[in-house]
Amino acid sequence: MVDRRELLVSAALQVMRREGVAATTTRAICTQADMPLGAFHYCFHSKAELFRLILDSDLQESLENAWSALDPALTAEENLSAVVATYWTAVQADPQWCLVLSELTAHCLRDPELAALPARDYARYHTQVIAQLERFLADSGSRCSVEADTLADILIAGLAGITSSWLAHRRDDIARTSLDAFVEMVAATITPAASS
C-alpha cells in the first residue's frame, strides 16, 4: 500500500508543475490526490513539512552520486566536466522540475515560516560538495588556490546561474559553451601534484 504522505507529495508536485507554487494550496493538493482535506493535516503538521520533503528530493541526489565518483587519477577539469555533464543531463531531462525548485525557493524565502528551508537545503549540499572536493584534493595530492568552502559556493552558484539563464533562453549551444568555460575557469584554481 502506498503511503499517504508519498501520495500527497506526488500530488503537490503535480500541482506545482502544472500551476506553480502559489497555487499549491492544501485544498489543491488533496483534490489532486483524491483525498479529503483532513488527510493533509493528518499526514503533515504544516505545509513547511511538505516543502521540506520536496526540497530534499531535488536534482542534488544525482549530483551527490556524481561528486562521490570523483577520480583522483583524472585531472580536475576531467572530473568537473563529468560532474557538470551529469548535472546538465538532469536539467535538460526535466526543466519543469528546475522551474519548480526555483519558484519554491523564492516562495520559501518570502514566507517567515518557510524561510529557513532554502538555507538548510543549501548548507546540506554545500557541506557535501566541500567534503568531496577535499577528498579529491587529498587523494590526488592537488592543491587549490581558494578554500574548499569558497570553491564549493562558486560551483553551486555558477551551475545555478547557468541553469537560470538556460531556462530563460533555452539555447543549448549557449549553455554548453558557458558550462565548458565555467569548468575551465574553476579547474584553473586547482594545481595537480606533478605541477606543485
What is the topology classification, in CATH, of domain 55-195? Tetracycline Repressor; domain 2 (1.10.357)
CATH 1.10.10 fits 4-44, yes or no: yes
Read off the pLDDT of residues 34-57 as tens digits, 9 standing for 90 and up.
Answer: 999 999 999 999 888 898 888 876
φ, ψ (nearest 5 deg) of residue 190: -110, 125
Read off the pLDDT of residues 121-165 as tens digits, 9 standing for 90 and up.
Answer: 899 889 989 999 999 999 999 999 999 999 999 999 999 999 999
What grid cell was written down for 69? 565518483
Domain boundaries, the chain: 4-44, 55-195
Residue 110 has pLDDT above 70, yes or no: yes
Q: Do 29 and 15 contact (CB within 8 A), yes or no?
A: yes
pLDDT of residue 68: 77
Read off the pLDDT of residues 163-178 as tens digits, 9 standing for 90 and up.
Answer: 999 999 999 999 999 9
Number of Cβ within a 10 Å radius of residue 184: 12
